[in-house]
Amino acid sequence: MPKKPGRPLGSLHDERTRAKIKTSQLINSLTNHVFGKNKLEATQVTAALGLLKKTLPDLQSVEMKAQVETTQKVVSSDPLTESEWSEQYGSDMASTSGTTKSTH
């Protein structure tokens, strides 16, 4: 006998699934009202919107502030002398980096 599609007989939707179905029914009802497919009273619209606020999260704008630090490393096959380093990167870098003059 071939297997039938759908849920097995006797199985029930869990609470979360039932809530999703109810929420989608509310959305469909309000959408149909907006497009003139069905007529809702003002109290029905208000009640549906109130229920949606309880079941759907509000979309809020969130401001995020972050301080980002980047580090750049220069890799060269020809090392710079202290004077070349000072000329290229500034004298503060050479005096604080603790470099010594090297002869290669």
What pLDDT, on a 0 to 100 scale, did the predictor assign at position 94? 44
Print pLDDT tens along the chain (104 aa): 566 676 666 666 677 777 777 888 999 999 999 999 999 999 999 998 988 888 877 777 778 889 989 888 777 788 888 888 888 877 665 455 554 555 54
Domains of the chain, by residue range, sit at 15-55
Give a three-class secondary structure readout of 41-101.
CHHHHHHHHHHHHHHCCCCCCCCCCCCCCCCCCCCCCCCCCHHHHHHHHCHHHHHHHCCCC
Q: What is the SS3 assignment for 21?
A: helix
- Cα separation, 6 vs 15, in Å, equals 18
